[in-house]
Structure 1
């Protein structure tokens, strides 16, 4: 731990901000290098003659600016530069959510609430790399090529880089010709569905499914039908029955780290699902956005490439803000996918695709993924050390977990109780398709909080809520 004591002379403003400003200056001058461990809150408060609360607030302000980060059990460290979070005093409050009804509102920034509603990882390496890459693009003399309309399917170099990435990180059978660029995975799903279905057509999916898919189906007029799931996800019996009864145009599923339950479909089950789809002439839309976290999970696209539209993005692995997604399409469906891209967005933004493609080519993306995997595993380990093991479900590499509630808890009462304790989670009913009955469970996003300390605080509040049976019975009184 460093013996850092800031010089506070000649500075104006609130004391906590003066300390944060001094910290910023010492980092900028390399007095405090990246990786330096800062004094504890109590130690620095003693040196400066201020309260521990003032130092805590100063460190929080420095963390908001992207200067430092905390690690559970280790302390607070100077970190590589990353963009500052919105200031609680200047950011417009968020009063709602783009999610479907049933999802809780997103808490306003700075209110102290731990938001564990979404799965939005972010790593400091990406922020540092972005500045360098944008500078390199500016100096390349090629900027004009990224400011006009690009080809509907994407520029050739970007499609080549996408194919290389998907082969390397997702183990997909992809070529530059088979890869079409989209604006993130949500747009990739919209494009894939538009290529094979029309409003009113039936699309089958897991009875608990991605909220974004529900929103998309409601917006575009597709009729979602639920199929039973078990500990491996979609059941072959349920899928076969749905195909015989309903004649669906497509199957949408997340076989690797299912959202929301976090389970992974076994290899034999994938072969069986592909065979059923082929038997009934159903196109598979495989969402593999989490596939990079499970290297031994073989995508269904490699089993049945001629009937599968494979969709993924860099949002969970590299950067959500780049909004770079990919669709891998078989030859006979490529014209329809490209036509859907043209209708829905004309083309993906070439500038962010160029950033992503350079990162893929230079190995930057692989380094970010390695760091993200390590963070995901660490947060899962943290969760499983805090929460009762019998309540935690899902793959241990997932960026979220499925919390199955013990008696007498009901999902809506539990979400209310955790909100009272300063943590926001999503109840299972938000993921239920149609009138499907939802289990008494909640999804907990482990990578939404900015630090492991914040994640641990949220998990401890969830664990405390589980031990509050009186609150669980309030709705019955």
Structure 2
């Protein structure tokens, strides 16, 4: 039977989720709710209690798991039969562990020692003897120790021949992208090539320099060589933006054969390449475009995705002989990297803590990727254990926009494929699900379960 029962949570000072669980359990124990009584719909109860639908859904899920409630597809949620309850104490989750809104839009890294490492570096910086550089503008020579630290850190990567003078420091990866565009692009309306689904920062940087972006079709191995060559024949493209090692948003990796084909086309058309490797968390056994085309490739990365995005420390390994051009652009833009930032980067990289922290971080990320794959693996899911996000092609009945709205109503924020398509491009019905390591593993597990439930229940009506 239906019930008009609504709890009073107005005096609740802690977690609304836990308070609702306690209220329903108490109502069942006191016979306010009896076997077979129907609970209010999620959205109705959420509106009544002034909480998100996701909070109500989590409470219902917990009580269903423990046997106090039962859910019937198409009918609703009901009080379960007496005796079906499990004698399991409710865990006292804090509001931070079970937030009303779970952010799966962008990867949120765990703190596995970064804060302490940064604090220790600050303390060492405070103990440094002051010298005349403290009151001078930054310069190429003064930031050399930071560039040397970067060089030592990436020396094991297959980037081809380079030295410390080929490295240019920037304020994060996005600053590097914009600076490269400002250095490379010529003409009133320059042309940039990019994958048909790609990191939106390429598009935003292109807009700032008034460049047009032409999309290049891809398959499961990355850029299609035929599509790139056709674009080169039809457009005067000056630079190709690509992420062969860890593609954002699909987590795909370009194989060696495809890399060589793309490199040959770029060489034939004198096409420069911007190789974005910001999301790669582990070393690679494949040569980069910088190794295959050392005179045409700008290799971009940063400490944001592997250590902390708050630092805004990025770097570029420039093509042979082009570092001076890029360094001139950065000097004209912001007079170089501030000394405290450069000193901080030097201390962190030379300490060896960045690699230690990256290893710990990978352990946390892999655990969450495993959870997501175990729960969502029955769908068309693309993932890599070292990528902090997953790419999900939506099942029939769902469109990306409507799915994102449905997820948001349940307190889950995911990113639509539309966010990665170019302005005139067509996006598939897909979403990117990012790892959130600011919440507990149990909470992340629950978020994936709720995403799965939404996926299995597409809307009946057709969007027109």
TM-score bracket for this pair, using the shorter chain length: 0.7 to 0.9
Number of the residue aligned with 1:322: 311
Q: Does the CA-based 8 Å contact 1:306-1:330 persist in structure 2?
A: yes
User: Counterpart of 1:131?
Assistant: 119
Report the TM-score, using the length of structure 2 for normalisation. 0.76
Deviations 1:31-81 (A, max 9, x none): xxxxxxxxxxxxxxxxxxxxx899433xx46x7xxxxxxxxxxxxxxxxxx
Distance 1:271 1:304 in 2: 10
What does residue 115 of structure 1 align with?
103
> Matches of residues 336-375 of structure 1 in structure 2 within 5 Å?
336-375=325-364
Partner of 2:31: none
User: Among 240, 265, 274, which residue is 2:263 paired with?
Assistant: 274
- Tell me which residue corresponds to 1:85: none
Question: Quick check: 1:474 aligned with 2:461?
Answer: yes
Give the alignment partner of residue 56 of structure 1, picking from 68, 77, 93. 93
8 A Cα contact 1:204 1:227, kept in partner: yes
1:290 deviates by 2.2
- Contact 1:256–1:264 (CA<8 Å) still a contact in 2? yes
| Aligned residue number for residue 382 of structure 1 | 371
Partner of 1:240: 229
Shift of 1:358: 1.4
Report the alpha carbon displacement of residue 119 of structure 1 after superposing the two structures with TM.
2.5
Deviation at 1:454, TM superposition (A): 3.4
Which consecutive residues of structure 1, in runs of 5 or more, have no partner in the other structure? Answer: 1-13, 18-51, 64-109
8 Å CA contact retained: 2:103, 2:436: no
Report the equivalent of 2:416: 427
| CA RMSD between the two structures | 2.4
1:192 matched residue in structure 2? 180
1:405 Cα offset (Å): 0.5
2-side partners of 1:250 and 1:408: how far apart? Answer: 38
TM-score (norm 1): 0.74
Instruction: Tell me the residue number matched to 1:402.
Output: 391
Q: CA deviation at 1:336?
A: 1.6
Residue by residue over 1:361-384, the C-alpha shift from the partner in whole angstroms, topping out at 9 and shown as x without a partner, is 121111011112222221211110
In the other structure, the counterpart of 1:155 is: 143
2:285 equivalent in structure 1: 296
- Looking at structure 1, the residues matched to 185 and 126 of structure 2 have their Cα atoms a distance apart, in angstroms, of 41
- Between the aligned partners of 1:144 and 1:411, the Cα distance in structure 2 is 56
Q: In 2, distance between residues paired with 1:144 and 1:448?
A: 42
- Residue 444 of structure 2 aligns to a residue whose secondary structure is helix
**439-448 or 125-134: bigger deviation:** 439-448
1:452-472, Cα deviation, whole Å (9 max, x unpaired): 333223212211111112x2x
Give the paired residue count.
379
- Match of 2:113, SS state, is helix
Greater mean deviation of Cα atoms: 379-388 or 351-360: 351-360
C-alpha separation in 1, matches of 2:173 and 2:157: 16
Alignment of 1:64-103 (within 5 A): none
Q: Deviations over 1:220-252 (max 9, x none)?
A: 211100000110111111111111110201111
Contact 2:245 2:280 in 1 (8 A): yes
For 1:475 and 1:419, the matched residues in 2 are separated by: 19
The residue number in structure 2 matching 1:176 is 164
Check 1:166–1:236 CA distance in 2 against 1; reply closer, same or farther (3 A cut): same
